[in-house]
Amino acid sequence: METQREISRSCKECGGLLVGRIDQVYCSEMCRTSANNKRVREEAQRVPDCIQRIQKTLLQNYKILNGLRDRGSKLFSKLYLMDLGFNFHHVTGITEKDGTILFYCFNQGYALHNDQVILLAETDF
Residue from 9, 18, 25, 31 binding Zn ion (CB under 5 A) = 31
> Counting contacts by CB under 5 A, is residue 86 touching Zn ion?
no
From the list 8-16, 38-46, 61-69, 105-113, the region that binds Zn ion by CB under 5 A is 8-16
Determine, following the binding rule CB under 5 A, whether residue 35 of this chain makes contact with Zn ion: no
- Which of 6, 10, 16, 82 binds Zn ion (CB under 5 A)? It is 16
State the Cα–Cα distance between residues 103 and 78, nearest whole angstrom. 13
Q: How far is the CB of 85 from Zn ion (least distance, A)?
A: 42
58 forms part of the interface with Zn ion (CB under 5 A): no
Torsions phi, psi for 33 (to 5 deg): -65, -45
Tell me if 24 sits within 8 A of 16, measured CB to CB: no
Task: Supply the minimum distance, in Å, between the C-beta of residue 41 and Zn ion.
Answer: 18
DSSP secondary structure of 22-80:
TT---SSHHHHHHHHHHHHHHHHHHS-HHHHHHHHHHHHHHHHHHHHGGGT-SEEEHHH
In the list 13, 76, 81, 104, the residue contacting Zn ion (rule: CB under 5 A) is 13
- List residues binding Zn ion (CB under 5 A): 11, 13-14, 16, 27, 31
